[in-house]
């Protein structure tokens, strides 16, 4: 693929820029916005998300980006008139929920739908990205609904094509979204994933490194960058067959097991990678200063909260941590 036929060029060839347009939140938050505690989390978030999507804003008083994001969230949620709700949790006062969900930096927003985490993002993103995020949850109203739904459908189809190995087809769809919305973080991340699938890792890293700061902090973009880091690291870890032989001789060789988990992860064998890390945790939580748990949380960041491997491994992780 080359020249004008290359959808990568169409989407990444020019200089892209983005600005965050923050607005003041309406004074009256009504019943759409509230603070919660560890004790009330199940009622305020889990139960309430069975009625409409609930956004949980994990923040702290010392966090500058949190002070930028919260008014944007409140403004957009209020404009939705109850189609989504916003619940704010101060992690200084209530750290356990954020810890259980593997949240390592703030601001972080997790959307709960039907009692489960459904999607999320990190960082003080632009108002347009907050609207897109809520649109994907089906919670925004107004004239942009049809367009947002169409874009969401295209992105979903592109992700399916990429998962099936149709790199060109996926790239064309991601590129089409970027023609209409050059700041669409999901499409940017998807295009980079296409580059990785095509063996163009350096090009993917360069494209993402040139994004403006507002977009570069998007959780999806950060996930792709971390995936690139994991691929680079796995190349230096040796032969997976040799590591399997080492484990056959000594199942308590946690260093070999950790290396094998990292290699399996970049091979797309997420369940197997998670199983090795969970095995280390069951056998020796002190290994590498609880390194298996920390590595698993890094995998979750790259896989995303809706990946079946994330959901399954997070449940098993919870059983180990809280048993």
pLDDT of res. 147: 64
Asked whether 84 and 77 are in contact (CB, 8 A), the reply is yes
- Judge if 113 and 172 occupy the same domain: no
Asked if 66 is an active-site residue, the reply is yes
pLDDT of res. 232: 87
Asked if 194 is an active-site residue, the reply is no
Asked whether 194 and 166 are in contact (CB, 8 A), the reply is no
The pTM (predicted TM-score) of the whole model is: 0.45
- Judge if 244 and 260 occupy the same domain: yes
CATH number of the domain at 81, please. Answer: 3.40.30.10
pLDDT of res. 220: 86
CATH number of the domain at 213, please. Answer: 1.25.40.10
Give the distance from CA 113 to its chain's centroid.
16
Q: Is 54 helix (H, G, I), strand (E, B) or coil?
A: strand
pLDDT of res. 8: 38
pLDDT, tens digit, for every residue of 9-45?
433 333 222 222 223 333 334 578 999 998 889 889 9
Helices and strands, counts by H and E, the chain: 16, 5
- Judge if 122 and 91 occupy the same domain: yes
pLDDT of res. 1: 33
pLDDT of res. 307: 80
pLDDT of res. 222: 87
pLDDT of res. 250: 94
Give the distance from CA 82 to its chain's centroid.
25
pLDDT of res. 138: 63
Whether residue 261 is contained in a domain is answered as yes
- Selecting among 10, 54, 66, 108, the annotated active-site residue is 66
**Cα four-point dihedral sign 306, 108, 49, 153:** negative
Asked whether 247 and 53 are in contact (CB, 8 A), the reply is no
- Judge if 119 and 164 occupy the same domain: no
Residue 198 CA to residue 78 CA, distance in Å, equals 43
Residue 303 CA to residue 308 CA, distance in Å, equals 9
Residue 21 CA to residue 15 CA, distance in Å, equals 20
Count of C-beta atoms within a 10 Å radius of residue 147:
12
Q: Which of 232, 249, 267 is the last residue of a domain?
A: 232
- Judge if 252 and 292 occupy the same domain: yes
- Judge if 119 and 175 occupy the same domain: no
Asked whether 25 and 76 are in contact (CB, 8 A), the reply is no
- Split into its structural domains, the chain has a count of 3
- Judge if 51 and 112 occupy the same domain: yes
Asked whether 213 and 178 are in contact (CB, 8 A), the reply is no
pLDDT of res. 119: 84
- Selecting among 63, 192, 228, 281, the annotated active-site residue is 63
DSSP string, 101-122: TT--SSSEEEEEETTEEEEEEE
- Judge if 174 and 109 occupy the same domain: no
Question: Residue 248 belongs to what domain range?
Answer: 240-322
Whether residue 103 is contained in a domain is answered as yes
Whether residue 2 is contained in a domain is answered as no
pLDDT, tens digit, for every residue of 248-258?
999 999 999 99
Residue 194 CA to residue 190 CA, distance in Å, equals 6
- What residues of the chain score a pLDDT lower than 70? 1-30, 138-149, 323
């Amino acid at each position: 693929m080359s020249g004008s036929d290359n959808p990568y060029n169409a989407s990444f060839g020019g200089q892209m820029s983005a600005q965050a347009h923050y607005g003041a939140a309406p004074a009256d938050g009504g019943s759409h916005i509230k603070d919660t505690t560890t004790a009330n989390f199940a009622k305020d978030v889990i139960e309430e998300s069975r009625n409409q999507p609930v956004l949980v804003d994990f923040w702290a008083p010392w966090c500058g980006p949190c002070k930028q994001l919260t008014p944007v969230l409140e403004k957009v949620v209020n404009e939705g008139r109850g189609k989504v709700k916003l619940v704010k949790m101060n992690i200084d006062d209530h750290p356990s929920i954020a810890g259980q969900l593997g949240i390592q930096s703030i601001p972080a927003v997790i959307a709960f739908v039907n009692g489960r985490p459904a999607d999320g993002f990190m960082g003080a993103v632009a108002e347009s990205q907050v609207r897109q995020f809520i649109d994907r949850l089906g919670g925004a109203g107004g004239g942009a609904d049809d367009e947002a739904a169409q874009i969401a459908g295209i992105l979903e189809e592109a992700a399916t094509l990429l998962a099936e190995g149709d790199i060109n087809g996926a790239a064309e769809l991601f590129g089409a979204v970027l023609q209409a919305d050059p700041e669409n973080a999901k499409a940017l991340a998807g295009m980079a994933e296409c580059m990785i699938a095509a063996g163009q890792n350096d090009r993917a890293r360069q494209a993402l490194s040139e994004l403006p700061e507002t977009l570069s902090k998007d959780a999806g973009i950060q996930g792709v960058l971390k995936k690139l880091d994991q691929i680079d690291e796995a190349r230096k870890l040796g032969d997976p067959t040799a590591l399997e032989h080492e484990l056959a001789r000594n199942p308590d060789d946690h260093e070999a097991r950790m290396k094998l988990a990292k290699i399996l992860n970049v091979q797309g064998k997420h369940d197997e990678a998670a199983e090795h890390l969970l095995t280390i945790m069951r056998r020796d939580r002190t290994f590498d200063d609880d390194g298996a748990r920390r590595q698993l949380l890094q995998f979750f960041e790259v896989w995303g909260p809706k990946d079946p491997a994330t959901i399954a491994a997070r449940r098993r992780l919870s059983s180990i941590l809280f048993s």
